[in-house]
Amino acid sequence: MAGHSKWANIKHRKGAQDAKRGKVFTKIIKEIAVSVKVGGSDIDSNPRLRSAIQNAKGVNMPKDNILRAIKKASGNDAESYTEVNYEGYGPGGIAIFIECATDNINRTVAEIRSIFNKNGGELGKNGSLEYLFDRKGLFVIDKEKIKINLEELEMDLIDFGLIEFEITDKYCTIISEFEKFGEMQSKLSEISVETNTSSIERIPKDTMKLNSNDSIKILDMIEKFEDLDDVQKVFHNLFFDDDLLQQLSDE
């Protein structure tokens, strides 16, 4: 797994924290709006929209809210968001890649730059760090909800872009090829495997290890980015060892 399972676990944990802060609904509604704009409102033919809806259900967003968001995004008065990425370095040389959806690019870049500057980092040029990450599909599933044999499930998914299949005490994590994200999503639905989250992620090719104190500083910085309304996702190449994961789970 080369650390990917730990990376996936921390992503899942951060998602749970976001939900507690009440920000995840806003981000999902914005993702629905962008998904409809890019691929239309037909759920069956739009994997990105299907993923947004699955994630909405995963954080218990009411069905009426989801349908209202799709309807609004399909209308003539739909809000228009521009997707833009920002890349930079945090303390210790940790690479940080930020995906945003914004209706005001000047505001967004000013807020992103401010967090980098105030936390010992530096905003870089677009495209300067993208090569450090691979785009992959990520699916997180409650293990107890899987009603079929896990070994059989793994074998069934190989033809649908499966790269890694990780089982922990509570979750089953699937990483797929980026190009086959939609096929994997459809296959899981076809065999009635309900995902907690499904998304396109940027997984670091290599990770960097810092001491615990510096790692916590990086994670605090990342949390500041995630708290911005215009930020949808934040990726980085910080290595999570068992001690750091334990520290985070104790918070």
Report the C-alpha gap between 49 and 235 in whole angstroms.
21
DSSP classification of residue 120: T
Is the Cβ–Cβ distance between 159 and 31 less than 8 Å?
no
Q: In a structure prediction context, what are the per-residue pLDDT tens digits for the chain, which is 251 residues long?
A: 334 444 554 554 555 555 554 688 899 999 999 999 999 999 989 999 999 999 998 888 999 999 999 999 998 888 889 999 999 999 999 999 999 999 999 999 999 999 999 999 999 998 999 999 999 999 999 999 898 999 999 999 999 999 999 998 889 999 999 999 999 999 999 999 999 889 999 999 999 999 988 998 999 999 999 999 999 999 999 987 767 666 665 65
DSSP classification of residue 238: B
Closest CA to 244 of 204, 206, 217, 205: 217
**For the chain, what's the residue count?**
251
| Both tokens assigned to 86 | 């920002």
Closest CA to 13 of 186, 212, 240: 240
